[in-house]
Amino acid sequence: VNQITNDSFALNILGLVYLKLQLIEKAKKNFKKAITANPNYIDSYNNLGKTYFDSEDLDKAFIFFKKAYKVNKQFSKTLINIGNYLSLKDKNLYAVKAYEKALLNEPLNTEVLSNISIAYSRNKDFDNAKKYYDKAVNNNKNINPSLELSLFYLYIYKNKFKKAWELFESRKGTPKFL
């Protein structure tokens, strides 16, 4: 471990290992070391930001996502991370813009299509939410439960209870379901 102090790639990998082992502070420390070793290594910014994001320190996460964006304004993972932050901050139209920019690089990315659908759902824009939901489903039959739950709520909002009921069980697969 002491021999990799200047290898940003190795430090980043070590941070990911610590993250997998739930050693969050050690993971953060290694991502920061990787950034110091190479300030242009975008993965370390995104991984550090995602670590803060998963710990629900959203504003700190956003700081690192913005730094990653400065390194490369076209990197899809950074754009997705920024979109996720903006969506959780109820800035859904800005989130959609970030996601759409990510789609330019990966037009069939189911995660991005799903996130766009969820962002439109949060804005109660049923037509666009459904459009992106359908695109996500067409690209991948294993749709994430959060997307299905979002569509469930939209159907409820639109008083389409029969269609909503078909998606009701999706709540069980979401991270917040106990």
Backbone angles phi, psi at 90, to 5 degrees: 60, 30
Model's pTM, two decimal places? 0.80
> Among 11-20, 39-48, 94-103, 160-169, where is mean pLDDT lowest?
160-169
Residue 39's pLDDT band, with cuts at 50, 70 and 90, is very high
Report the pLDDT value the prediction gives residue 66, as an integer from 0 to 100: 97
Cα separation, 154 vs 121, whole angstroms: 6
Computed over every residue of the chain, the mean pLDDT equals 88
- Three-class SS state of 109: coil
Token code pair at residue 44: 């370390």
**Average pLDDT, stretch 87-97?**
94
Could you tell me if 62 and 93 are in contact, meaning their C-beta atoms sit under 8 angstroms apart? no
Q: Measuring CA to CA, how many Å separate 128 from each of 8, 17, 115, 165?
A: 41, 39, 12, 21
Contact 29, 22 (CB under 8 A): no
pLDDT tens, 141-165? 666 677 777 777 777 877 888 888 8
Specify the higher pLDDT residue, 46 or 5: 46
Give the residue-averaged pLDDT of 20-43.
95
